[in-house]
Amino acid sequence: RLRGTPIVRHEAEFEMIYDDCPPYEVLNTKDISFADLQRVKRFARYWDLVGNSGNFMQSVHLIWEKSQDPFDSFLKFSDWLYRSTGRRHGIALTKLLECVFDYLVEFASIKPERAAKSLWEDYQHGGRNDRPIVLRPYLEALESEETEISDQKTHTHQKRQKMHQKTG
């Protein structure tokens, strides 16, 4: 009960039940069950971790890329993340990155190479250069491709230089 606050006048009408301990959160109402409120709280927490933290600036969009409804897509991700971790707090960044990767590949139908590249760029954006274990195989393949492309460009450039020297 929140004596002396304006919300008290709605307590009976909406059958509001509060936590006995501060911050006296609403636990349920006649319209919103306890389970639904917990789901909303998880969604909000995971949105802070993934959508608002700045740690997944590119990758968060992949969660709903193939959907017409970003909210529903993130809600499904939120439900999955809770089932996978069983927690809202205390999820290490590398564990969260691994979870986002798994979800993108297994449920959002994003190719693992693309998910890994996006997550790696996000991870580096935060000034980190250690390689999360889940991304390593894809990063090695990506680096091999980049080296091959770079070698091809160098070879093409050298051929042009030789041709120019012969004609010059």
Peptide bond into 23 cis (omega under 30): yes
Check whether residue 21 and residue 39 sit in a common domain: no
- The answer on 120 and 75 residing in a single domain is yes
What the block records as the tokens of 113 is 């190479």
Per-residue confidence band for 6, with pLDDT thresholds at 50, 70 and 90: confident
| Same-domain pairing of 105 and 50 | yes
Give me the number of domains the chain comprises.
2
What mean pLDDT, rounded, does the chain reach? Answer: 89
Same domain, 23 and 41: no
- Quote the tokens at residue 89: 């707090």
Clarify whether residues 100 and 148 are in a common domain.
yes
Say which residue, 40 or 163, is predicted with more confidence. Answer: 40
User: Do residues 6 and 85 both lie within one domain?
Assistant: no
64 and 147, same domain (yes or no):
yes
Question: Are both 125 and 104 inside the same structural domain?
Answer: yes
Question: 64 and 136, same structural domain?
Answer: yes
Q: Is the pLDDT of residue 19 over 60?
A: yes
- Do 1 and 64 fall within a single domain? no
Top-confidence residue, 151 or 61? 61
| Same domain (yes/no): 6, 47 | no
* Domain region containing 144: 33-167
Contact between 100 and 61 under an 8 Å Cβ cutoff? The reply is no
The mean-pLDDT minimum among 59-63, 91-95, 97-101, 158-162 falls in 158-162
* Same domain flag for 72 and 155: yes
The SS3 of residue 144 is helix
Rg (CA), the chain: 25
Maximal C-alpha separation, the chain:
93
Confidence of residue 141 (pLDDT cuts 50, 70, 90): confident
Higher-pLDDT residue of 121, 7: 121
**Contact status, residue 50 vs residue 15, Cβ threshold 8 Å:** no
In this structure, how many other beta carbons lie within 10 angstroms of the beta carbon of residue 144?
A: 10
